[in-house]
Structure 1
Amino acid sequence: MQTLSWLLALLLAGGAFTAQAEGVRSAAMLSHTCAGCHGTEGASAGEVMPTIAGMDKGYLLKVLEDYKDDVRPSTIMGRIMRGYSDQEIAAIASFFASQPWVSTERPIDGELAYQGELIHQQRCETCHTDGGRGQDARSPRLAGQWGPYIAYALETCRARGASCKKRQGAERVQVLEDAEIQALAHYYESQK
């Protein structure tokens, strides 16, 4: 009888441990998976990985859902996002949105940045307001983002043509020349 009581106590303790372990998946814990590429708390240290800390929650949520649903092409993000529930994806978006923005600290070509500012004013300011600092659920922050990442994102969108047209501003990206992409990348990286 004593063995049965001990076994029952062990099973109940195991059930309590399991219930406690299920509740451990906090937004911060879920987001640590992202640190390898996007940096600790979303402040990327690599020039081809975007900083995601401080981005608009609605924008992050849409991007992550698009990765999960294979709407947004990726090499690894789609596979990662399919491992999370919709609630977990919302928690990850909330976590990164609540982190402070960290701008890059790299030297840039001032003349190229000036050319990028002119292009920005003509083609991009309506959505990416305040020199690229403005953001909402449809437009990400660009000011202070890694220039090489911005160039990569613009080149990728331009190369995808029609498949990128679902994204806001894609028609403007389609007509950019290589030199204009580099100028925009320098301009946005120079903004803090």
Structure 2
Amino acid sequence: MSRLYTAAALSASLALSGVAVWAGQTFYHVTEGTPLDLSDAMEEGRDTEAVKHFFSTGVNLYNENPAVMAEAEEVYAGMCSGCHGHYAEGKIGPGLNDDYWSYPQNEEDAGLFATVYGGARGQMGPMWGALTLDEMLLAMAWVRHLYTGAPETAIWLTPEQRAAFKPFEPGAGG
């Protein structure tokens, strides 16, 4: 488990804002260490099955889900590729498709979510005003899909997904 949540915190509850949070758990800004305010999130996209599942389990239902990959690619292309590259190879922002993470907590989806939601250093601002919670999960799923590392290092995948995972190869199709 990451430092962002513990086994005791995996049961879901609803915050007064209507945003699901891990019971007794707070997400922290990746560079400032301050708690993230999930009530800043847009109203739209808070109550999807994927968002509810993510906040109750820490598992992104969109990871390697063929039914949403086209939409996930579209969200990533529109909001992330300008800085992180079409294949997440890195441009102005760091590469996101290999085994190196500027913020090691991004190896897990809870950490990646905190980075996307709250922003990081440099030009990576918080996305809570630009993307819905559901769109954040879609963008995260596309980043995970673009992973070029070995399947066994893709710790965000379920064991079944890991067994079927093929590292991304640019030009080999989505």
Q: Smaller-chain TM-score range?
A: 0.3 to 0.5
> Which of the pair is proportionally richer in helix?
1
**Please, what TM-score do these two structures have when normalized by structure 2?**
0.38
Q: Which has the larger radius of gyration?
A: 1
